[in-house]
Structure 1
Amino acid sequence: MINVIMIWALIALFILQPGIAHDGAETGVKLFVQALLPYLLPYIILTQWLLKLPASKNSSPAWMRYLKAYTLGSFGGFPVGAVTVSEMKRNGQLSAYESSLLLAACHAPGPMFIVGYVGLELFGNSMAGWKLLIAIHVANILFFLFVLLLMASKRSQHEVIGNLPLPPPSSAPLLDAFKESSSIIILVATTVVFFSSLGSVLTTVIQAAASVEMGIVKTAVLALFEMTSGVQSATQHFYGSAIFPYLIAAILSINGLSIHMQVFVIARSAELSLKPYVIGRIWSVLAVPVFLYMLL
């Protein structure tokens, strides 16, 4: 009943604020085309192509499979980590337990996005982008090592990879990679446009209902719904302030509901638990700004 009421309330907001909803959706489209698609699509295709190639699940030790998941998943941008771990689980390279834990660790923005977009375009300095990327991966690697220890201590309590059935190998891995990548890109585009529009409408409603500073409200709401919109709002309202780089780090760590929805859809399709992912995001929000402060 609560869900039905919420849905109808959102429908009413979109009907009452069509112009703002349109502007928010248009902003989401521009963000996707200009800031996400050029950085995300090539890497997703190559990652999917690599994962579609025939591989023996017993040809490498467990730690090498975990390292492969982290390397492919954590350097391709959101939601490549979820895509990588889910595909490795379907290929029989990871168990459901391992995949659920790695889902939380293999989650980071792509280096081209951080260095190219955040570093050069927002910070005006590629070195600042590199430092932010290092802070993100320091937090992720520490969490990744914790995950490795947890999996090593409980490995005997869960299914053994060697006992899991292997799916039939793909006859055309590149074509399958394009097919899978297209569905992922559509998912990313849909969530970015929807949550950008929703964030814009809710920002206007909150501003009209309460006397609060527009920059704070807009940045907070947009960061909650769509990460890239939140980053742009923070740049617009807080650029030059002492807290600006740490605010950007926090927004990138929060991710926003748009990215979380992408991960949830992908993880659910592979029947993965989301509890470790939630814990990982809380750790990231707390740790990344601290590590960035130490580097700056």
Structure 2
Amino acid sequence: MINIAIIWGLIFLFILQPGIAHEGAEIGARLFISALLPYLLPYIILTQWLLKTSAANTDKATWKRYVKAYILGSFGGFPVGAVTVSEMTKRNEISTKQGGLLLAACHAPGPMFIIGFVGTELFGDIRKGWMLLIAIHVVNILFFLLISLFLNSKTKLPKANLPPPTKRSGIPLLDAIKDSSNVIILVATTVIFFSSLGAVLANLVATTLDFDTGITQTILLSVFEMTAGVQEATVHLSHFTLFPLLIAAIISVNGLSIHMQVAVIAKSTNLSLRPYILGRLWSILLVPIVFYFLL
């Protein structure tokens, strides 16, 4: 009943503010085309292609599968980590419980996005982009090591049984492109929807409570859609000394758009989201701190 009330409430908000809704959706679409698609699509295709081409190896040590999941998942951008872990779970390279834990660790923005978009375009300093990328992976690797210790403790999860290699009937590259297109559609849909929703709610809050529209929109868009949030923060908050740390915090929060993408992908293989939530809290707390000391 509550869900229905929320949905109808949002429908009326969109009807009452069609211009704001359109503007927010347009911002989300532009960000997806300019800031996400060029950085995300090539890596998703290559990651999927590699996973579909590589044969399952029954002799491979379990820790090597963890490293494989981290390397492929954490350097491709959101939500490549979820895609990688989900694909490895489908292939029985890791168990469902192992996948749920690795889902939390194999989650990071792509280096092309952080260095190219955030560092060069937002910070105007590629060095700061590198520092932010290092901070993110330092925090992620620490969490990954903790996860690995848990996975290999006395109460470790059962090892996944890898099936013997089978002859593939399809073409791995074409299969990779097909699967990647589904992920890209999911990313585009969530980015545009949550950008529009954030803009509508920001305008409502600003006009109702007499708050600064720019700051309100920055906060709400950061909660709903990360890329739109960092874009708005650049417009309204770039003059602050702590601006780089604010961007690090927004990227660590990720936004509901990315969390929704991960949840949809994880659901396809019944991966638990509880470790993922813990991992996000870990990142929100530590990434800005590590980034501060690196700067």
TM-score (norm 1): 0.96
- Report if aligned partners of 1:92, 1:166 keep a CA contact under 8 Å in 2: no
User: Offset of 1:267 from its aligned partner?
Assistant: 0.2
User: Offset of 1:211 from its aligned partner?
Assistant: 1.8
Aligned to 1:73: 73
Q: Distance in 1 between matches of 2:186 and 2:168?
A: 23
Aligned to 1:139: 139
Q: Distance in 2 between matches of 1:53 and 1:200?
A: 42
| AA matched with 1:243 | L
| Shift in CA distance, 144/111, structure 1 to aligned 2, threshold 3 Å | same
- Report if aligned partners of 2:56, 2:163 keep a CA contact under 8 Å in 1: no
Aligned to 2:260: 261
User: Offset of 1:169 from its aligned partner?
Assistant: 5.1
2:168 is the counterpart of 1:170: yes
User: Offset of 1:242 from its aligned partner?
Assistant: 1.2
Question: 1:71-150, aligned counterparts within 5 Å?
Answer: 71-150=71-150
Aligned to 1:210: 209
Aligned to 2:59: 59
User: Offset of 1:54 from its aligned partner?
Assistant: 4.2
User: Offset of 1:213 from its aligned partner?
Assistant: 2.3
- Report if aligned partners of 2:74, 2:108 keep a CA contact under 8 Å in 1: yes
Aligned to 2:42: 42
- Report if aligned partners of 1:89, 1:95 keep a CA contact under 8 Å in 2: yes
2:225 is the counterpart of 1:245: no
- Report if aligned partners of 2:104, 2:280 keep a CA contact under 8 Å in 1: yes
| Shift in CA distance, 168/193, structure 1 to aligned 2, threshold 3 Å | farther
- Report if aligned partners of 2:94, 2:159 keep a CA contact under 8 Å in 1: no
User: Offset of 1:159 from its aligned partner?
Assistant: 3.3
- RMSD after superposition: 1.3
| AA matched with 1:215 | G
Q: Distance in 2 between matches of 1:133 and 1:169?
A: 39
| AA matched with 2:119 | G
Q: Distance in 1 between matches of 2:283 and 2:168?
A: 36
Question: 1:274-289, aligned counterparts within 5 Å?
Answer: 274-289=273-288
Structure 1 residue ranges (4+ consecutive) displaced by more than 3 angstroms after TM superposition: 164-170
Secondary structure of the 2:76 match is coil
Q: Distance in 1 between matches of 2:54 and 2:228?
A: 39
Which structure 1 residue ranges, 5 or more long, are not aligned? none
Aligned to 1:197: 196
Q: Distance in 2 between matches of 1:113 and 1:78?
A: 10
- Report if aligned partners of 1:231, 1:251 keep a CA contact under 8 Å in 2: yes
| AA matched with 2:97 | Y
| AA matched with 2:279 | G
- Report if aligned partners of 2:79, 2:261 keep a CA contact under 8 Å in 1: yes
Secondary structure of the 2:109 match is coil
| AA matched with 1:206 | V
| AA matched with 1:18 | P
Aligned to 1:184: 183
Q: Distance in 2 between matches of 1:132 and 1:54?
A: 32
Comparing 117-126 with 167-176, greater Cα deviation is found at 167-176
User: What fraction of aligned residue pairs are identical, expressed as a percent?
Assistant: 62
Which structure 2 residue ranges, 5 or more long, are not aligned? none
| AA matched with 2:261 | Q
Aligned to 1:15: 15
Q: Distance in 2 between matches of 1:202 and 1:22?
A: 13
User: Offset of 1:240 from its aligned partner?
Assistant: 2.6
Comparing 139-148 with 54-63, greater Cα deviation is found at 54-63
User: Offset of 1:165 from its aligned partner?
Assistant: 5.1
| AA matched with 1:142 | L
Q: Distance in 1 between matches of 2:67 and 2:59?
A: 14
Aligned to 2:24: 24
Secondary structure of the 2:153 match is helix
| AA matched with 2:262 | V
Q: Distance in 2 between matches of 1:63 and 1:29?
A: 40
Q: Distance in 2 between matches of 1:64 and 1:165?
A: 17
| Shift in CA distance, 167/24, structure 1 to aligned 2, threshold 3 Å | farther
